[in-house]
């Protein structure tokens, strides 16, 4: 098959590229660095020539919910419009477990993306996944004041991006499913403990105190809203295995 991966150089995207190549597919990378801005529908249309399936693992890093919603909606509509013109048979979009229970901020943007996917004219699968193991690194990088680092309280079931990238390619090979069962890691972890362990592995020697992140998103993180529903597909690699490998 010819599979286009939108966000091919990202945390998940590079694993999807590797998996697709290993599984014998021809990969078309859609990233700005490779010369295709997904917001430019004509450029996407040209890039999707002969493509059977699109895997969307795009991302935007912004604290603005409005900006994130604008990006995910416009990028999705562009991929779907160009995809319909090019005869793409399956659009697979990566989303996040629990966003319907916590439709705030960045998660509201991901919900808007899901709605745009469902409204488009290419048959689709939305795969919701739990937080990545790398989420610990992200939180470690964000939550600091001067030399002090903080560990946010939260209930998560983190997943390995290598396993997720491969799973998305397997989905793209198959039939469109609409909203697929959640994809999650093998066990629930304390987000604070993950960040503390990550800090130690980075050589950080001070204590990393736990904090409760204020606001609706912080609450959702703590109250279990972001845990998978029963019937989720479970990956195998644990956070400890991921950390050891790094
Ligand atoms: N972090 C988590 O725990 C988590 C959990 C579940 C789901 N997710 C979802 O997973 C998805 C992927 O996240 P990630 O962390 O793997 O992403 P990432 O590492 O931030 O990578 C983003 C990718 O998008 C590309 N991109 C951005 N803007 C573009 C544009 N206008 N045109 C073309 N390409 C563009 C980037 O390449 P260029 O910069 O070269 O354009 C890059 O390849 C996100 O949608 C996120 O919501 C995340």
Q: For each successive 10 residues of the chain (246 residues), what is the average pLDDT?
A: 98 98 98 98 98 98 95 98 98 98 95 98 97 97 96 98 98 98 98 98 97 95 97 98 94
- Kindly state the tokens that stand for 48: 């999707």
pLDDT given for residue 71 in this prediction:
98
Instruction: List phi, psi (to 5°) of 7.
Output: 95, 30
Ligand 1: centre distance to CA 56 (Å) = 9
- Kindly state the tokens that stand for 68: 């994130």
- Distance from the Cα of residue 168 to its chain's centroid: 11
Residues contacting residue 146 through CB under 8 Å, at least 6 positions apart: none
Q: Compute the radius of gyration of the chain from its Cα atoms.
A: 18
147 to each of 48, 137, 143, how far by Cα in Å?
47, 16, 11
Q: Report whether CATH 3.40.50.720 matches the domain 2-245.
A: yes
Per-position b or e across 138-175, b if 16+ CB within 10 A of its CB: ebbeebeeeeebbbbbbbbbbbbbbbbbbbbbebbbee
Place of tokens 């939305």: 126
pLDDT given for residue 39 in this prediction:
98
> Cβ of 204: how many Cβ atoms within 10 Å?
15
Q: CA nearest 6: which of 28, 35, 33?
A: 28
Q: Which of 7, 42, 93, 161 maximizes ligand 1 atoms within 8 Å of its Cβ, making it the mutation to test the pocket?
A: 7
Place of tokens 């130690």: 200
Q: Which of 15, 32, 159, 225 maximizes ligand 1 atoms within 8 Å of its Cβ, making it the mutation to test the pocket?
A: 32
In which region does residue 9 sit, left (phi positive, over 0), alpha (psi from -120 to 50) or beta (all else)?
alpha
CB-based pocket (< 6 A), ligand 1: 7-13, 30-33, 36-39, 57-59, 94, 96, 110, 129, 131-132, 135
Pairwise CA distance, residues 34 & 53, whole Å = 19
pLDDT given for residue 63 in this prediction:
87
Instruction: List phi, psi (to 5°) of 56.
Output: -100, 105
């Amino acid at each position: 098959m010819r599979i286009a991966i939108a966000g091919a150089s990202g945390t998940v995207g590079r694993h999807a590229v590797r998996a697709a190549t290993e599984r014998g597919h021809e990969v078309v990378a859609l990233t700005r660095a490779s010369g295709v801005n997904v917001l430019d529908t004509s450029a996407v249309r040209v890039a999707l020539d002969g493509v059977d399936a699109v895997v969307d693992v795009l991302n935007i890093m912004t604290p603005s919910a409005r900006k994130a919603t604008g990006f995910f909606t416009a990028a999705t509509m562009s991929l779907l419009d160009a995809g319909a013109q090019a005869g793409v048979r399956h659009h697979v979009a990566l989303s996040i477990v629990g966003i319907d229970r916590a439709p705030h901020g960045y998660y509201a943007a991901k919900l808007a993306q899901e709605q745009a996917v469902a409204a488009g004219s290419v048959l689709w699968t939305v795969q919701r996944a739990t937080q990545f193991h790398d989420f610990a690194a992200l939180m470690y990088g964000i939550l600091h004041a001067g030399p002090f680092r903080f560990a946010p309280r939260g209930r998560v079931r983190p997943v390995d991006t290598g396993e997720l990238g491969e799973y998305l390619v397997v989905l793209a090979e198959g039939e469109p499913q609409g909203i697929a069962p959640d994809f999650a890691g093998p066990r629930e972890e304390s987000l604070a403990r993950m960040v503390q362990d990550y800090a130690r592995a980075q050589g950080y020697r001070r204590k990393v105190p736990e904090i409760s992140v204020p606001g609706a998103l912080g609450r959702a993180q703590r109250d279990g809203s972001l845990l998978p529903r029963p019937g989720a597909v479970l990956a195998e690699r644990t956070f400890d295995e991921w950390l050891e490998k790094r």
